[in-house]
Amino acid sequence: MLRDHERDTLQRFLFDHAPVRGEGVHLDTSWRVLSEHHGYPPVVRDLLGEMMAASALLASTLKFDGRLTIQAQGDGHIPLIIMEATSERTLRGLAHWRDNVQPAPLAELLGKGYLAITIEPRQGRERYQGIVGIEGDTLAECLQNYLLQSEQLDTHIWLAADNYQAAGLLLQKMPEQDQVEDHDCWNRVVHLANTITPRELLELPTAGIVHRLFHEEDVRLFDSLPISFRCSCSRERVADMLRNFGIDEVHKLLDEQNTVEVTCEYCNQPYAFDRVDAEQVFAAAHSPDTPPTQH
Ligand SMILES: [Zn+2]
C-alpha cells in the first residue's frame, strides 16, 4: 500500500546508460475530489481517471508555464471527456455520458470523433493544438498513436484507475545521443514495463514500480512532486460569462427566479447573482475606469 507522502505525487526517473526518460504518477485525494458528486458510472469514471493520470504525465513534459488540455469528443456513449493540467501540477476535468455505458474498446465508447491535445503557454509562445482520430482499444494506445504521429515521440504509457485512485507510468525515448552505450535499452525497458499489472500500478509507489520493473537497470529517481485537484473557476469568470450573455437575457432570468445561479461543471461550486450583483456586473462593464478584460 502507498504511504501518505507517496499519494498525489508525480515522480521522474532517468536511465543512466540510455536516452530514455520515465515518469510515474499516483492520484489519490485529487482523484476522489475530482470525481466525487458527479455520479459517474464505473466505465466513465475509470476512463476519466486514466485521462487524469495521462494529463499529469504529459503536462510534466512541458518545459514552460502553462496548461495542457486533453479533450475527446465523439458520437458514442461518452460524447465528451476533458482534462486540464497546469505546469503547477493542478488538474481538473469532467466527462459527459449517455445511459447504459458498458465496458467496450475506447473507439467504441467515444464513437466517431477526435482527440485533441492543446498546449497554452502562459507567455510568449503560441497556443498549439494537435488532433487525431479516436483509434485503439485503450486511452494509452490512442495517446501513444498521437505522440508518434504529431510529435514523432516514441512513447509508451500505462494507465489504471478505480473508485479510489488513478495511476500511470510513461516511458519516452529521447533523441539519440552520441555517447549512448546501450542501444537495446528502449526495447528492453518497454518489454519489462509491459509486465506491470493495473493492480500494481495502483498499489505500488513509483519507486516500488521502478524497483519491480527495472531492478537490473541503472535508474536515477528524482524527488517526487506534489499534485492536486484545483478548479480555475471564479466569481469574476462567471461575471464575464454573464456579460457575454447580455443584460437583457440576465434581466429575463432575474424576472423568472430572482437570482441567476451558475454552477461550475468541473467542481460543483455554485455562484449566485441577485439583482444588485447583476447591476454591478453590468455597471463595471460600462465604467470608463475599467479597461476591457481580455482573454
Ligand atoms: Zn470550478
> Which CA distances in Å does 141 have to 103, 137, 175?
16, 7, 21
Q: With bands split at pLDDT 50, 70 and 90, how would you rate the model's confidence at 286?
A: low
At the topology level, CATH places domain 235-286 in CBS domain Like (3.90.1280)
Q: Distance from the CA of 121 to the center of ligand 1, in angstroms? A: 21
Contacts of 128 (CB under 8 A, 6+ apart): 118, 119
C-alpha 267 – ligand 1 centre gap (Å): 4
Question: At residue 269, what is the residue type?
Answer: Q
pLDDT (tens digit, 9 = 90+) per residue, 243-257? 999 999 999 999 999
CA of 235 to the centre of ligand 1 (A): 10
In terms of C-beta density within 10 A (0-12 exposed, 13-18 middle, 19 or more buried), how is residue 157 classed?
A: buried
CA of 179 to the centre of ligand 1 (A): 48
* pLDDT score of 294 more than 70: no
Distance CA 141, CA 155 (A): 10
Query: Under CATH, to which class is 4-229 assigned?
Result: alpha beta
Q: Of 282, 185, 227, which is closest to residue 11 (Cα–Cα)? A: 227
Give the pLDDT confidence score for residue 125 in this predicted structure.
79
Q: Is the pLDDT of residue 290 over 60?
A: no
Residue limits of CATH 3.55.30.10 in the chain: 4-229
pLDDT digits (tens, 9 = 90+) for 156-214: 999 999 999 999 999 999 876 555 556 688 889 999 999 999 999 999 999 999 999 99
Q: Ligand 1 centre and the CA of 137: distance in Å?
A: 31
What pLDDT sits at residue 100? 87
Q: How far is the CA of 259 from the centre of ligand 1 (A)?
A: 19
pLDDT (average), residues 48-73 = 94
CATH 3.90.1280.10 domain range(s) in the chain = 235-286
How confident is the model over 115-170, as pLDDT tens digits? 999 999 988 778 999 999 998 999 999 999 999 988 888 999 999 999 999 999 99
Q: Which residues have their alpha-adjacent CB atom under 5 A from ion ligand 1?
A: 231, 233, 264, 266-267, 269
Length of the chain, in residues:
295
199 CA to centre of ligand 1 in angstroms: 31
